[in-house]
Amino acid sequence: MRWGLAGLAVVLIAAGAVLIWQGSEHRHAEVIPWGLLVPGYVYFALVATGSCIVNSIYTVFGYKGPNEEYEKIIKLGVFFSLASLIPAWIMILMDLSKGPLAAMSMFIHTKEGFSLFFQPRSAIAWMALLYMIEGLLLLVELIYFIRGEVSEKLKMMKSLELVIALAVLIASVLVFSNLGQVFGDVMAIPAWYGPHMAVYFIISAIAIGAAGQALFVSLFARSLGVREFTAWYYSRILMISLPILAFVKGWMVINSYYNPASWEAYREIVSTPTFYVFDVFLLLVLPFIVAIVAYYRKNMALLILATLLLVVAGFVSKYNLLIYPQIAFIQSYLGEAGHVHYAPTEFEMMIFTGSVLVYIALLILGVLLLPLKPGEKPKTLYIFK
């Protein structure tokens, strides 16, 4: 079984790498500049960052569960956060029209004969830096928890654990505050412009990150003896976060109604059937109702249903928010020249699919190679011995 899963992971990585390479080699400019890969990047970054915020309930605020169940799943949660950053990085790098190396221009480029490094006035440069910092901090946190399992000295250094956890939490909040600024500063697209994007991204991250992490942890909940706790705990997070997300999203739509330029974009969103099916019913209403029942019954099956709905509808919601305002902007620019339509190209789909395959493979390899469950001894990689 173990070798079979390892073989499957290798096949997935190989297939994903081929798809990503082929897709990047044949990509070309599209009418919509921020196509499928940007919503894909935002979505997986939301999952990773939201998962970090959920982890902080244990790592920063010290909640361990009624019978200290959280100690059994915290390493799984930290690893899930770290792994979820990978597909986000792949998609955003592949989205650069000149290839992955073009990302270096955010840090090193030449202007008027001088070589310049990090540009503090560039929100995109801050985005790249903050994601690198978050990834490194997550790696440090994961190593700390793994080493702390076998090192009494590290186990007693609670102040160090708190410092690392605080750094991860601060980096996570800064990442999506800054991402909100990246979109919120795009004055050309009124549907994005404004401070609401930062708040929207943070609460979206918590809801979607908790859903993704719950699905991952649920695979091990029975063997770890935390099935009821998992159903109860993650359902509670969804019960709290989804009404806040509904309030913020509703406020964004209502506010745009009184802004003619912004309403041009939001009218594109709310006039599509997918808005009411995915953004409203499958993202906000049904998962909230299912989570309430799962919470009071401590029912794992209902939790899985709620999280599956959130994982799928959450992506569609981000896709709608990022794609349709661009369509509205281009149509307003063209006037009567024609109706703009966007559908992901096969090459975008190849990169997106390849990134997801690599992501699944990393989750499998992490479980196989790393001691993520309580009592497992570091045994495979040198750094964890």
Quick one: 153 exposed, middle or buried, by C-beta within 10 A (0-12, 13-18, 19+)?
exposed
Distance from C-alpha of 180 to C-alpha of 190, rounded to nearest angstrom: 14
Say yes or no to pLDDT of 104 above 70: no
Distance, in Å, from the CA atom of 132 to the CA atom of 227, rounded to the nearest integer, reads 34
Lowest mean pLDDT among 52-66, 80-94, 191-205: 191-205
Domain count, the chain: 1
User: How far from each other are the two terminal CA atoms of the chain, in whole angstroms?
Assistant: 24
Domain interval for residue 327: 2-384
Residue 121, both tokens: 């006035």
Predicted model pTM: 0.90
Mean pLDDT of the chain: 84
Encode pLDDT of 181-191 as tens digits: 777 667 667 77
Task: Find the CATH number of the domain harbouring 369.
Answer: 1.20.1630.10
Amino acid 100 reads P
- Mean per-residue pLDDT, 14-34: 82
In terms of Cβ atoms closer than 10 Å to its own Cβ (0-12, 13-18, 19+), residue 67 is: exposed
How far apart (Å, rounded) are the C-alpha atoms in residues 175 and 136?
Answer: 13
CB atoms within 10 A of CB 302: 20
pLDDT score of 337: 47
